Structure 1
Amino acid sequence: MKTTIQPDSHSGWGIVIGLAVVLCIIFGTTLNVLSVFTPPIQQAFQCSNELAARVATVFLLAMTLAMPAAGWLLDRMSPRPVMTGGAALTVLGYLAAAQAGDIAQLTAMLGVAGVGVGASTYVPAITLASQWIAPSRQALAFGVLLAGAALGAILFPLPITYITQWLGWRYAMQAIAAVIAFTCVPILVWIARLPDSRLTAPHGEPAPMPLHGHEIGEALRMPRYWLWIVMLMLITLSSLGVYIALVPYLVSTGYSAERAAAIYMAIGAATLVGNVLFGALSNRWGAKAVLLMGTALGALGILCLLAVGHQALGMMAIALFSLIWGSTFNLANQLSPLLLAESMGQRNFGSLLGIGNLISGVGSAFSPEALGYLVDATHTYTIALAICAALLVAALLPISLLQRAAPDWEAAR
């Protein structure tokens, strides 16, 4: 790491808020609206559910592959060229995707955009925030970052849906590129910087402790690190599968595209509340206990989604799904960095977070395509959604086992 100092200042929180704005815009206009583009892409290119879902798979895979490289770079150099370059690459990818002549070109260009998103959002933002904010307040900082991402899910799906319906999906992608180019790129040029390594603790306070942790190779040989990855993969497999399939599933049950996008907004609002609520609970009960509770609630929310098509229970089911699943949707992203820091330490945090997200993300990136295949094969979403609920139930085991892992330096105290 560049510095062992964790300056918890007004400047640090200003950086966090700026990063939250970037996550709001980039995630809100890319990841949070991928499902919105599925029906018009299928119509434009006359492709199957599986091929249309592959667009999201390639985007997610490319985004995931970029994360460890971004984390490794941020452990060793200034974040400005990494994050600003990533945002610029996202812009170029969406501009090229808007000109695609077939589904293969579209998939490839959104893969390029995915690399840019991975280099400018979650792992870089979490790593940079951990440099500016003291460990005791990082849970709140990570919650603010993810609240920004959740706000993007509220603000952007409906406008992007309207633009797609009125002007076409190609114009919508050009609009996304313009928004990111004129907002996120300038913001990152301004805020993507490390704290001054010459900063010292305030007068009268003890000097900061050196970073604890392990070398990357040593960490990769530790079972508790792989337990953390398994936990993350199971949760992400389920969450991405449901999130990407939500709009086409709701449309298949009789919802209009506008109502489906409005439900996305309701989910985003619930996620925003959940970031604050579960963040506060984690301070009292601990990150592991809260993640156990939230994962179990997420599985229950998916079961509610299965009843959306029921004539009598449909409205209640979608309300419960939006509230329960929506409030827990981002919980793993919010709490897993804390669990990683508790079990592995702050040393090489960015690299280990990126590697873990790469491994779990590579597996989970195939979730949308696998779900699309199941829908094509079974002609129903029921089996695919039930599997997503089962994955969350399975994730409860590694979360529980992770509670037993203790860092070597804590055991030595």
Structure 2
Amino acid sequence: MSDIAPSIDGEARPSSGSSAKVAEFRSHWRALLAVVIGLSTGAASTLGYSHGALIGPLEAEYGWSRSYLSLGITAFGLAVLLGGARWGALSDRFGARRVAVLSLLVYGTLLASAPDLIHLLPFWLIYFITSIAGTGATAAALTKPINDNFFAARGIALGVAFAGIGLGAFWVPLATQWLIEQGGWRFAYHALGAMSFAAAPIVWFLLGPSADAAATPAVTHAGKDELDGLTLHQAARTRTFWLLIILGTALTLGIVGMTSHLIPLFHHAGASPARAVAIASILGLASMAARLLVGFALDRARGPIIAVLVPIVASAGILLLLPGPVTAPFAVLLIGLAFGSEIDMIAYFTSRYFGHREFGAIYGWMFGVFGISGGCASYLSGAIFDHFGSYHLAILACVSLTALAALLATRLGPYRFETRHTVSH
């Protein structure tokens, strides 16, 4: 297994200073806003972050165990694994605009129908079908407009885009709890599905044809094709590809194993449902800030250094969950500073190590692996609680995984595609 390092001789290298970054944001702010809205109302947000608040009502009504309920998130992860690369490849071919809007429409309809389907199908199967439809409005497809249109400011642009998921981590738990209090858990599903459906035309309007490289290339490249890079098969033959997957998997297992159970964890420790949700909502705000910070840093520092620091911060936050409610807000703050950054970093690294030729397929495949990893982490944490009546062992396992991720990050090498493109105005 050997790294493929294509030649970049003769490429244009215009300045990537602040003026170039400002020009990119001025030209493509609508596409960036569309991605933020899509990610904050898509499956990763409305399905993933509503789950913790819905566990209690579903457990009370049907008597299901937490491990069984966690299978919903596992099913989401499996759907992302099976569909991520395919949705990514579709965005490479048809553009993220069509893919994301279609996904939001079908996903929103299915999520709103979940309470009616729950009497016909197993809980995990409903989540699996809904997630398959919703994966087209996740990072698997929606990172493509960012990587196609931002070059000098790609890191910060990805940070802003992924802040959409952080925004979802903030508003979705609070909204879900409020909706449950107003009309019950069925009403919460109906309302969340309607929000995703309503976001589709907004994303269609903002993510115009000019934002899709598949429709109108937004970059020029001296002497080379604007989609220079490796194919999925070429990337899969490199050491870096598998190192990124193992690193991202370990970090995802460690972080999601805790974040998916924060609300029931705090409730079990004695917090009221409202206080548990309030503490957990810190995760979203911290994640939004961290994604901007990480994106800013990726444009200015060596990425592997950032990849070491993020899991170290996550490890510290997870350890602070052990003392209980006293340190809970600080724990969630630190976890939030790392939460989701692995997805941001891997998206950035994918473009820098493998180029743009099949970015959607390569990143979609990686995103799928991380999705099933997060789903398995949620189930395992729930199973550990069911068996031991405590989350302590799960906390220790998650710390070990994030520490492993920090160690693996030290093995990342230099970028293969550090080219700077010129922006067409």
- Mean Cα displacement is larger for which, 322-331 or 206-215? 206-215
- 8 Å CA contact retained: 1:87, 1:120: yes
1:22 Cα shift? 1.9
Q: Which amino acid aligns with 2:197?
A: A
TM-score (normalizing by structure 2): 0.86
Instruction: Tell me the equivalent position of 1:407.
Output: 416
For the residues of structure 2 that align with 1:74 and 1:200, how far apart are their CA atoms? 17
- The answer to whether structure 1 residue 360 and structure 2 residue 377 are counterparts is no
- Mean Cα displacement is larger for which, 236-245 or 94-103? 94-103
For the residues of structure 1 that align with 2:415 and 2:303, how far apart are their CA atoms? 14
1:259 Cα shift? 0.8
Shift of the 360–330 alpha-carbon distance from structure 1 to 2, 3 Å rule, reads closer
Instruction: Tell me the equivalent position of 1:240.
Output: 256
- The answer to whether structure 1 residue 383 and structure 2 residue 402 are counterparts is no
* Equivalences for residues 278-317 of structure 1 within 5 A: 278-308=294-324, 314-315=325-326, 317=327
Instruction: Tell me the equivalent position of 1:335.
Output: 345
- The answer to whether structure 1 residue 187 and structure 2 residue 202 are counterparts is yes
- 8 Å CA contact retained: 1:230, 1:360: no
- 8 Å CA contact retained: 2:40, 2:168: yes
1:200 Cα shift? 6.6
Shift of the 207–187 alpha-carbon distance from structure 1 to 2, 3 Å rule, reads farther
- 8 Å CA contact retained: 2:159, 2:293: no
Instruction: Tell me the equivalent position of 1:348.
Output: 358
Shift of the 107–78 alpha-carbon distance from structure 1 to 2, 3 Å rule, reads same
Shift of the 9–370 alpha-carbon distance from structure 1 to 2, 3 Å rule, reads closer
1:320 Cα shift? 1.6
For the residues of structure 1 that align with 2:217 and 2:117, how far apart are their CA atoms? 49
1:394 Cα shift? 0.8
Instruction: Tell me the equivalent position of 1:323.
Output: 333
Instruction: Tell me the equivalent position of 1:311.
Output: none
- 8 Å CA contact retained: 1:61, 1:362: yes
For the residues of structure 1 that align with 2:185 and 2:30, how far apart are their CA atoms? 35
* Equivalences for residues 55-74 of structure 1 within 5 A: 55-74=72-91
Length, aligned pairs only: 395
- 8 Å CA contact retained: 1:35, 1:246: yes
- Mean Cα displacement is larger for which, 281-290 or 163-172? 281-290
For the residues of structure 2 that align with 1:364 and 1:177, how far apart are their CA atoms? 22
- 8 Å CA contact retained: 1:65, 1:362: no
1:224 to 240, 243, 267: 240
Q: Which amino acid aligns with 2:264?
A: P
2:156 to 140, 148, 160: 140
- The answer to whether structure 1 residue 35 and structure 2 residue 52 are counterparts is yes
Q: Which amino acid aligns with 2:243?
A: L
1:86 Cα shift? 0.8
2:100 to 48, 66, 83: 83
1:209 Cα shift? 6.5
- 8 Å CA contact retained: 2:148, 2:218: no
- 8 Å CA contact retained: 2:24, 2:149: yes
For the residues of structure 2 that align with 1:207 and 1:9, how far apart are their CA atoms? 25
Q: Which runs of 5+ in 1 are unaligned?
A: 309-313
Instruction: Tell me the equivalent position of 2:282.
Output: 266
Structure that is richer in helix per residue: 1
1:12 Cα shift? 1.6
Secondary structure at the counterpart of residue 116 of structure 2: coil
- The answer to whether structure 1 residue 125 and structure 2 residue 125 are counterparts is no
Shift of the 252–80 alpha-carbon distance from structure 1 to 2, 3 Å rule, reads same
- 8 Å CA contact retained: 1:65, 1:118: no
RMSD: 2.5
2:63 to 28, 35, 46: 46
For the residues of structure 1 that align with 2:256 and 2:303, how far apart are their CA atoms? 22
1:95 Cα shift? 2.4
Q: Which runs of 5+ in 2 are unaligned?
A: 1-10, 13-19, 420-425
- Mean Cα displacement is larger for which, 91-100 or 326-335? 91-100
Shift of the 199–62 alpha-carbon distance from structure 1 to 2, 3 Å rule, reads closer
